Structure 1
Amino acid sequence: MGLGDLLRRIDRRLLPPVGRGIRWMQAGTGRRRVITSTALIGCALLVVAAVWSTDQPTEHVDDSGPVVRVGVNDGESIPEYAEDSRVELAQLAEHSTSPTWALVSLSAYLGPDAVGEITKGHAVARVYARVPLPNAPTEIISLDIASMPGDLLAEMDRAAASKDADAAAYAGLAGKLTGDSEQEKRQREIYLTAQALAEDEAEAYRAHCECAYAVVVRSTPQNLLELSGLDLVRAVDAAPEMQSFDRAVFLPALPEQPGMAGPPGSGLSEDDPPVGAAPASKAPR
C-alpha cells in the first residue's frame, strides 16, 4: 500500500470523530450479560480517532468459542447496571464461597497507590486506564498485572514508551504533508493533534498518573461484597459464568459518566472535565 492510500484510509477513519480532539487542542436499560461468539463487537478507542472494539484497544480475544461480556454496554444506564450488579453479587454471596472473576469499576481516576489500597487482599489481574484530560478522547488501555504495585508501575512505564513512539510516528506523518491542498492541511492537523495528545499521555503515564478507573480481580463473593461497599468503588460485576480469563471482554464504566455509558468524551459539555483531576504532570494545551 502506498503512502497516498494509507493517508486516505486514515483520513476516512479519523475525520468523523477527530473534532473532539481538535476542540480540545483549541480550548487548551437494565443489565444484559451476553455470551457471544463474536469477540470484537462495539467500540475500541484509537487515540484521537476513537475507533472502538468491545474490549480495550490493547486486548485481543480469540473468537473461536463463546466469549463472556462483563460490564456495561454503550447506551445503557450505569446506575441501573451498578444496582443490578450489587443485587446479583449479594445473591451469589449467599450461595457460593468459590472465588470468581469480577470487574470493579471505580468512581474516580486513581493512582497506583490508591488502586493498591482498594484491592488489598484481592488477586488483581488487570487494570484499565486512560489519561483523563478534559474533553480529550484519550485512549483506553488495559494493563495486565501479576503483582501490585510493581507490575502496575512497570506497565505504566511501558505505556509511556508506547505513547512516545505514537507521537513520533504522527510527527513523521505530519512532516511528509507539505502541500497546500485542503486535504493535506486537514490530514496534517489530524496528525499534529494526535501527536500532541500522545505526548501528553506519555508524560502522564511516565509520572504514574491518576489514570486507573477499573480493575479485574479474583476473589470470593463475600470479599467482593465488602469491596463493593468502599467509597471509591462504583460497581462490582461478578462473573461466575467465566470459564477462562482469556474468554472474556470487559467493559467498565467511565467515572465521568453519571448516566449512560459511552466512549470517552461523550456526555460531557465543553466546560465539564471528567471526574478526577487531570494529571499534574501535564496541563491540557
Structure 2
Amino acid sequence: MNIQKSFQGERHTGTLYLVATPIGNLEDMTMRAIRTLNEVDIIAAEDTRNTRKLLTHFEIKTRLVSYHEHNKEASGPELIKLLLEGTNIALVSDAGMPAISDPGADIARLAIEQNIAVVPIPGANAALSSLIVSGLYTDRFTFIGFLPRDKKHAQRMLEQYAASRETLIFYESPHRIRKTLATLLDSWGNRRASAARELTKRHEEMIRGRLTELIEHFEQHQPLGEFCIIIEGLDDEGADQLKQAANSWWQELSLEEHVSHYEATMSRKAAMKQVALDRGISKRDIYNEINR
C-alpha cells in the first residue's frame, strides 16, 4: 500500500509534478502550472523544441531535458535518481495532461514504487474536452486512446467493447481517421459519434452525426489536425440484442457439430457439458442424442 499526503510533512526526496500544458490555445495554461514550471529544478519534456517555445512565451528559464518514448529506458532511471537525491522535476507532454497515451505513465509508476510523491497539476485535456461537447452521454465513459495499427488487432479490441454501455473515447491522427471510422462502422454499426479537431485553436471544429455521416464528410473534406472520436455506447435494448445474438450462434448447428466446435479446445465430456449450458438442456439428453 502507498499513501501519499502531497502537501504535509517533510520530504527526503524530490517531487514529480505532472503538469498539463495547452492543447492549442496558450490561455489553456493555468497560473499554477506556470508557477510550478518556474519553481522546479528540471522540466522533462516529450519534445524539447515544442516545450521551449512554451517556456519562452511565459518567460520560464528552468533547465529543460528530454524524456520521451524512445529514450525512456535510459532517461527514466536517471530522473528517478535525481528525484531520490531531492531534485524537484516537472513532467510535461507536447499538449494536455502527461501520462495519458504518453510515456509519462511509466516514470510516474517508477516514482510511486520508490515512494516519491507524484503530484498532478491539472489543466486542459483533449479527451474530456471532446466528450463534454459531443452531445453524447457523459455520466459513464471509457477512454481507449489509439487503436492498434494492425486491422486484426484493432478489430479484436473493438470486439471487447462492442457491448459497452459507456460512451467511448478514441484518439486518431488525420491520415488514419477515415480508416478508423470505417473500422468502427464495420465493427459496431452506424452509431452516433462526434469527431473533434483543433481543440481550443482558431479552427476548432466538431463534426457530429452517425458514423456514415462522418465518413461522408471526410470523403469531401481533407482531415486536418489531431482528432478525438467520441462514440455512443449501446443502450439496454441494443446490448440485449447483441447478447442474444452472441448466445444463439449455435442454432444452425446440429448437436454433434455443436459438440465438435467445443472439442477443439476441451475434452468431449467438457464439450457436452458446455453444449448443455448453451441449449438449456441436460447433458444426459445430449449424450443420448449423439450416441443413438
Q: TM-score range by the shorter chain?
A: under 0.3
Greater relative CO (CA pairs within 8 A, separation 6+): 1
Structure 1-normalised TM-score? 0.26
